[in-house]
Amino acid sequence: MKEEIEKIKKVALEEIEKATNAKELEDARVKYLGKKGELTAVLRGMGALSAEERPIIGSLVNTVKTELEQKIDQKEKEYEIAELNRKLKEETIDITLPSTKITRGSKHPLNRIIEEVEDLFVSMGYDVVSGPELETDEYCFERLNLPKGHPARDMQDSFYITSEYLLRTQTSAVQARTMMANEGKTPIRVICPGKTYRRDDDATHSHQFSQVEGLVIDKNISLADLKGTLEVFVRKMLGENLELRFRPSYFPFTEPSYEVDVSCFKCGGKGCNLCKQTGWIEVLGSGIVHPNVLKMNGYDPEKYSGFAFGTGLDRLAMFKYGITDIRLLYQNDVRFLNQFDRCDR
Ligand code: DAH
């Protein structure tokens, strides 16, 4: 019996040693140590042994069992370690490899300007409003004192969609919309930045451009309020020490009307190519809201007055960033746009 056990042990150890994977190891465990295994069978047959032999054989079987179990455990550990090493080798991450570049977008120069203008006017108590880009003749012109056939319509080459609808040529259209929406209530203090369209195309004019409109209506609004507001606006956007010049002009929706020039921020007013040797650069249209416009849009000109102004945001962006062709702002060329990512840092 002893020899038989030793033989089982020998064969079993060989088999465990030979096992090359977890499955073979498990098969060996079942074959020798399982319920129907060879060692278990020996234990079962112990009833036939003499009283002296029994404990000797019993303890031998147990020793062999433990030995086999240990051997199996040890083999299992070896597999685990080998598997871990294999994984570590296969799944190594080379941290010295150059990483994939994460490209960060940047704000469009026009959006930068719009946000700056909005921040400034919001800080002065204005609301930011918007209006449709596909506008009616009524709001774009008629309600701004430009009835059909008015010669001043010729100043704006328009894209008409039908005889009543056009792409708005000026954000001034929002003045009338705001007044109508406020139904005679005051104060009105709004700016409206947005896209505008005219049949233009050269280095300083694009068929699509951007304007910001300003409108204030209340009791006792005067030219002094307009001047003070525009001084803050222009100096904040273009330079604190700049001078402003109010030049009488004509706009159908304001009376009196002014074009506002700023002393050239490039040459300081001495004269250069930017200001065409005049020392001044035109930046804004403005004026005191025409009584007809107040009346047409629900405000009594005897009681209320207001000022309005409008300026091209593209021009402001071009001045501020030294852009020489307005069309660059609308071509979505990343080589151009990428240059502005530095402004965020
Ligand atoms: N809408 C005018 C334009 O596009 C600019 C302008 C002038 C706006 C005078 C105004 C204003 O609000 O009062 O040329």
| pLDDT tens, residue by residue, 265-315 | 889 889 998 899 999 999 999 999 999 999 999 999 999 999 999 999 999
Q: Which atom of ligand 1 is nearest to the CA of 213?
A: 12
Q: Which atom of ligand 1 is nearest to the CA of 169?
A: 4
Q: Going by CA atoms, what residue is nearest to atom 12 of ligand 1?
A: 309
Give the distance (Å) from ligand 1 centre to CA of residue 293. Answer: 13
What integer is the mean pLDDT of 162-186? 97
Q: Domain count for the chain, please give it.
A: 2
62-81 residue pLDDT tens: 898 899 899 999 988 888 89
Is the CB–ligand 1 distance for residue 194 below 6 Å? no
Say whether both 124 and 218 belong to one domain: yes
Query: How would you list the strands of the sheet with 159-160, edge to edge?
Result: 134-136, 165-167, 159-160
Q: Output the CA–CA distances (angstroms, integers) from residue 195 to 6, 280, 341, in the order listed.
A: 96, 26, 23
Is the CB–ligand 1 distance for residue 172 below 6 Å? yes
Q: Going by CA atoms, what residue is nearest to atom 4 of ligand 1?
A: 170
What integer is the mean pLDDT of 228-234? 97
Say whether both 43 and 75 belong to one domain: yes
134-143 residue pLDDT tens: 999 999 999 9
Which is more confident, 25 or 190? Answer: 190
Pocket test for ligand 1, best of 170, 188, 233, 313 (most atoms within 8 A of CB): 170
Identity of the residue numbered 198: R
Q: Assess whether pLDDT exceeds 70 at residue 101.
A: yes
Residues spanned by the domain of 58 = 2-90
Give the distance (Å) from ligand 1 centre to CA of residue 172. Answer: 6
Of 90, 121, 151, the one marking the end of a domain is 90
Q: What is the pLDDT of residue 324?
A: 86
Query: What confidence category does residue 343 fall into, taking pLDDT thresholds of 50, 70 and 90?
Result: low
Say whether both 150 and 234 belong to one domain: yes
- Contact of 253 with 289, CB cutoff 8 Å: yes
Q: Assess whether pLDDT exceeds 70 at residue 344.
A: no
231 in a structural domain: yes
319 in a structural domain: yes
Q: Going by CA atoms, what residue is nearest to atom 13 of ligand 1?
A: 286
Pocket test for ligand 1, best of 172, 206, 210 (most atoms within 8 A of CB): 172
What is the average pLDDT score of the chain? 91
How far is 137 from 149, CA to CA, in rounded Å?
A: 12
Say whether both 81 and 139 belong to one domain: no
Of 59, 90, 121, the one marking the end of a domain is 90
Query: What confidence category does residue 54 fall into, taking pLDDT thresholds of 50, 70 and 90?
Result: confident
What integer is the mean pLDDT of 27-40? 86
Choice among 36-45, 213-222, 283-292 with the minimum mean pLDDT: 36-45
Q: What CATH number is associated with residue 232?
A: 3.30.930.10
Pocket test for ligand 1, best of 157, 212, 286 (most atoms within 8 A of CB): 286
Query: What confidence category does residue 193 fall into, taking pLDDT thresholds of 50, 70 and 90?
Result: very high
Give the distance (Å) from ligand 1 centre to CA of residue 213. Answer: 7
Neighbours of 28 (CB within 10 A): 25
Q: Which atom of ligand 1 is nearest to the CA of 285?
A: 7
Say whether both 203 and 71 belong to one domain: no
Query: What confidence category does residue 123 fall into, taking pLDDT thresholds of 50, 70 and 90?
Result: very high
Give the distance (Å) from ligand 1 centre to CA of residue 287. Answer: 8
Say whether both 183 and 278 belong to one domain: yes
DSSP alpha helix (H) spans, 19-129 = 22-33, 38-44, 53-90, 109-123
Q: Assess whether pLDDT exceeds 90 at residue 204.
A: no
Q: Going by CA atoms, what residue is nearest to atom 8 of ligand 1?
A: 310
Give the distance (Å) from ligand 1 centre to CA of residue 253. Answer: 8
**For 7, phi and psi rounded to 5 degrees?**
-65, -45
How far is 203 from 328, CA to CA, in rounded Å?
A: 9
Is the CB–ligand 1 distance for residue 286 below 6 Å? yes
The proportion of the chain whose per-residue pLDDT surpasses 90, expressed as a percent, equals: 59
